[in-house]
Amino acid sequence: MNKNRLNYFILNKESFIDSNSDKVLSIAEILNEQRLIIIKWLRNFWKLNFIKEFLSKTKTEMSYFYFNKNDDIEDTITNEKDLENFLNKYIQIYKKPKIIILQNIFNIIWIKDFITKIYSEWYKIILIWNNIKISNIKEIEVGSNYNNINYNNIDNISTFWLWYNIKTIEQDFLKKNFLKLTTSDILLHDIAKGFSVKSIDLYIFTITFLSKINDYISYREFHLILNELKSISLKTLIDYIDYSIQARIIKKVFRFDLKTNKTISSKAKYYFTDNWIRNSLFNFNVEKRILTENLIFNILYYNNFSIYWGVNWKFSFTFYWEKETVDSKKEKIHILISYETRKDELRKEVNKLLKIWNSHQKFLLVDSIEELWIKKLQYDSVTIMEINEFISSFKQKN
């Protein structure tokens, strides 16, 4: 088979980052059983890298059909018949592919009819998009992995992230410029174009303001704050947050009341799926504690934990998270990130964690054990640990 395929049948697979081996296996299994899967994440980040990795590791790089509507500069593919003809053109040249990969095709007319047709013909299909849902189809997120985090690079990763392109840039000001441009590209294509947002400036103002909020807040509370600075309707605000969630820019976290064993959904806290987006929106001036908490959230999320803000009576702590283990039990862990500078205040926080009457692990995370002169690090179920040590050890363990 000729490796120099025509037009945009082919992906440039000269280089990819080996990053999602576990998900390669799970997606291969789903395709073998169900023949259709949706892959989601930020525009141009990890999704395309993952596809390259998937094709290489499943040895299908010489038998796939790939179409990305964004590459259709002349807008020749506008409906399902155009795409069908395009696939037939591929088949005439290269024979039937084992896998069909379709990206950013949500605005092609009758696209679901095309998907239904090729599915009935027993193709294996990978769909790469964020803003269309197909009922009963498995969706997999292929976000950044955290295998390269260690104790010494956490601060840098928290600020600039660990994306391959960033690691090749030495000067910080160039990193910032690159990440700002990348963020603008995501907002233009995934938000402005993807959801036909009328005022991208108002959207950016809203999401930028959200980037510096580090508390639980209701829609109405957020609207009251925002509306004092710039006119925006409550519906528009809710739409903007919903668009951001669909585009995998932010994640919403609710409180979980340990006493009532119920989720409290009247307010929510928002984490950004990559630290650099949150930081670049606010001109790289987001507080370090916000970025640190955001990074811990992303590590927990990547490892498939269900994450909440925990509350036990009047005591609120940073994270309550749980995960079903291989023996169908639930692993539950509580985290309080503390910025207290006095040992007596720190001990009060230990006592509050001890009042959570269960045997699950509890972590009190601090910036520096040495600076606080802490000698005892274990109090029954409560472990005092430095933030960076927790991140490093958790990453290695999982």
Whole-angstrom CA distances from 265 to 216, 234, 262 are 10, 18, 9
* Local structure of 292: helix, strand or coil: helix
For residue 272, the model assigns a pLDDT of: 96
Whole-angstrom CA distances from 204 to 129, 142, 164 are 22, 25, 26
104 neighbors 68 (Cβ within 8 angstroms): yes
Q: How many CB atoms lie within 10 A of CB 59?
A: 9
59 neighbors 98 (Cβ within 8 angstroms): no
Global pTM reads 0.87
For residue 24, the model assigns a pLDDT of: 86
Write out the residue limits of the CATH 3.40.50.300 domain(s) in the chain.
21-141
Element (H, E) at 25: helix 21-34
Mean pLDDT by 10 residues, the chain (398 residues): 48 66 85 92 75 88 89 90 94 92 90 94 91 81 77 84 75 92 90 91 96 94 95 97 94 90 92 92 93 91 84 84 70 87 89 84 91 89 92 69
For residue 117, the model assigns a pLDDT of: 96
CATH of 21-141, one of 3.40.50.300, 3.30.460.10, 3.90.190.10, 1.10.1740.110: 3.40.50.300
Q: 359 in the Ramachandran plot: left (φ > 0), alpha (ψ -120 to 50) or beta? A: alpha
Give tens-digit pLDDT for 6-35: 445 667 666 667 766 678 888 899 999 999
How far is the C-alpha of 322 from the C-alpha of 113, rounded, in Å? 39
Structure tokens at 222: 């957020």
* Widest CA span in the chain: 76
Under DSSP, the state recorded for 58 is: T
- List CB contacts of 98: < 8 A, sequence separation 6 or more: 60, 63, 64, 124
Among all chains, which residue has been given the structure tokens 């947050």? Answer: 241
For residue 3, the model assigns a pLDDT of: 45
Structure tokens at 105: 């095709």
For residue 10, the model assigns a pLDDT of: 65
Q: What is the dihedral of CA 172, 174, 175, 177, to 10 degrees?
A: 120
For residue 124, the model assigns a pLDDT of: 96
* Local structure of 222: helix, strand or coil: helix
How far is the C-alpha of 344 from the C-alpha of 346, rounded, in Å? 5
How far is the C-alpha of 257 from the C-alpha of 167, rounded, in Å? 41
